[in-house]
Every structure is written in structure tokens, then in C-alpha cells.
């Protein structure tokens, strides 16, 4: 690790993924009542269905499928034009 706290590329434990490999993300917390999920310290809201492993899933079911600490890939979201928050659209379970 460098003095700046950045892990060097190619070093075990590095945050970089091998080229061509999907980037992994970690589910930090799930707030079912607010329909909100935090992944890699970024807040996502559930508005409408979400594709999980290619299957359309209702927002209420998403909070029951994902678990805190779970690794996911292929995270896709849209930014809400009015409020500017992120809306989760797609994720694959790892």
C-alpha cells in the first residue's frame, strides 16, 4: 500500500479487478421501509422493478433477496432528474 492509502494495481487485496472481469460491489445496508439500499457507500432507491440475474423483480422482493455483505456485479442505475438520487435498475448476484 502506498503512503496515500491507495492499494497498488495487481497487488492481492487490490480494489482493481482484472481487465474484462465484472467489478464486484458489496451491499452495505438495506432499509426496507424506505426502499433504499446502500452499495459501496452509495445510496440507491427502489422505484419500479429491478433486474436481478436477468429476472424482473418487484421492489418489495428486492429487499428480501439482497443481503447485507452480499457481493454483486453489473450494477446499473439511473439518476432521478428531479431529485438527483440514484434508482437501482439492475444487479447480478455473485
Q: What is the CATH classification number for the domain harbouring 37?
A: 2.40.50
Burial class (CB in 10 A: 0-12, 13-18, 19+), 20: exposed
Strand partners, 37: 30, 44
Instruction: Give the pairing type, strands 86-93 and 42-45.
Output: parallel
Distance CA 44, CA 28 (A): 11
At residue 1, does pLDDT exceed 50? no
Residue 57 makes CB contacts below 8 A (sequence gap 6+) with: 49, 50, 51, 65
- 10 falls within a domain: no
pLDDT tens track for 26-77: 999 999 999 999 999 999 999 999 999 999 999 999 999 999 999 999 999 9
- 12 falls within a domain: no
- 20 falls within a domain: no
- 44 falls within a domain: yes
- 56 falls within a domain: yes
pLDDT tens track for 67-85: 999 999 999 999 988 889 9
* Structural domain boundaries, residue 86: 25-93
Q: Band the pLDDT of 17: cuts 50, 70, 90.
A: low
- 8 falls within a domain: no
- 5 falls within a domain: no
Number of domains, the chain: 1
Amino acid at each position: 500500500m502506498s503512503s496515500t492509502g491507495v492499494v497498488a494495481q495487481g497487488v492481492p487485496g487490490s480494489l482493481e479487478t482484472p481487465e474484462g472481469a465484472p467489478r464486484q460491489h458489496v451491499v452495505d445496508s438495506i432499509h426496507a421501509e424506505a426502499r433504499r439500499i446502500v452499495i459501496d457507500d452509495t445510496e440507491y432507491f427502489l422505484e419500479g422493478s429491478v433486474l436481478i440475474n436477468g429476472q424482473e423483480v418487484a421492489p418489495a422482493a428486492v429487499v428480501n433477496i439482497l443481503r447485507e455483505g452480499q457481493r454483486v456485479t453489473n450494477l446499473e442505475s439511473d439518476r432521478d432528474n428531479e431529485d438527483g438520487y440514484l434508482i437501482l435498475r439492475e444487479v447480478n448476484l455473485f
